[in-house]
Amino acid sequence: MRKIRVLIVDDSPLIRRLISEALRADPDIELVGTASNGKEAIDKARLLRPEVITLDIEMPVMDGLTALEKLKRLYPKIQVIMFSTLTEKGAKETIKALSLGAFDFVTKPSTSSLNESIKRIKEELIPKIKTAVPRVTKPVTPARPLPSRPSVVKPAVRAVPRRPIVGRREVVAIGVSTGGPKALSEIIPKLPAGFPVPILIVQHMPPLFTAQLAARLDQLSSLKVIEAQAGVPVGPGKVFIAPGDQHMEVVKRGVAKVIHLHKGPPENSCRPAVDVLFRSVAKVYGGRSVAMVLTGMGQDGLAGAMVLKEAGALIVAQDEATSTVYGMPRAVVEAGLADYVLPLQEIPLFLQKIFLQRKVA
């Protein structure tokens, strides 16, 4: 099995050392080199042919964002994982990096313990590297030729039967993880200001980053996009993004529907978790809801989609071809829950047809 070739780019010798030690401990990863600035990264990318680059943002000579733009233009197949500080500025620049094509990000360790820092890098960075570049197992050459077999035609993947859109829908709930900021920037800004229902979004991100994601989408969109706050009424034409490290639910208060935030236990190792949002939507809206599971690692959203499906909700999954990581949507599709499996570029029009034209072609 081949190893994944990784280049580390950071102006801090300590950070380069921490990442190097974390990666060298994994037998599936080959550290091919390090660089201390963006210019050096571009030069070494040509010479060392990495499959993944970990990229700092603030560096001398050439910063990470400038380097990212050049790398994606020169070497579009290289996956870039940003290494960001857990600050408002770091969050803002990371959100921009994700919109420019970075695969994902990891926050820099804040602890002074070297062993704890290495442990956290192993836990957070290595799974993202392996998701960015799935390993390929080379076929073993048999000692003697195998007998020929008749050719077998693989059955085509069964198309998802498209369920007719009937009845009134009053909310859109979206769950998304890796690749989410870019996906959301292809959906939310394309919806008109008069969009008649609220949109509730869980994006797996830490605090500060969700606020910056909301701010960026708000700048790009006709709809009002905000990081959700407890007690705020859920109304039409607004987009609510769950804050990092808090679960988001919609609850009834009399005749009103409002946002409820809490720090219950993580689900699927996530807080906020898509399942928590989906269950609350099923309880409050039932079948009058549309749930979307977009690009992301893992299976968060699967259990919630089951509850929504039982309540009569319409379930939509992003297709494999346009997903950065086909994990969360795959789980929903393979469980037979998806009423529609759509490429990313078709989702804005799909939503407009449901809520503005009351039909789907």
Residue 177 annotated as catalytic: yes
Residue 204 annotated as catalytic: yes
Angstrom distance (rounded) from CA 197 to CA 289: 10
- Contact, 24 vs 126, CB < 8 A? no
Beta bridge partners of 176: 203
Contacts made by residues 29-34, CB under 8 angstroms, sequence distance 24+:
29/3, 29/4, 29/126, 29/129, 30/3, 30/4, 30/5, 30/6, 31/6, 32/5, 32/6, 32/7, 33/7, 33/8, 34/7, 34/8, 34/9, 34/10
- Alpha-carbon distance values, 354 to 290, 347, 359 (Å): 9, 11, 5
- Contact, 2 vs 136, CB < 8 A? yes
Catalytic-role residue among 36, 84, 177, 185: 177
Residue 63 annotated as catalytic: no
Catalytic-role residue among 10, 11, 275, 300: 300
State the CB neighbour count (10 A cutoff) for residue 63.
Answer: 17
Catalytic-role residue among 204, 247, 289, 339: 204
Angstrom distance (rounded) from CA 246 to CA 172: 20
Torsion angle of the four alpha carbons 222, 227, 232, 236, in this order, in degrees rounded to the nearest 10: 30
Q: Which residues are catalytic?
A: 177, 204, 300
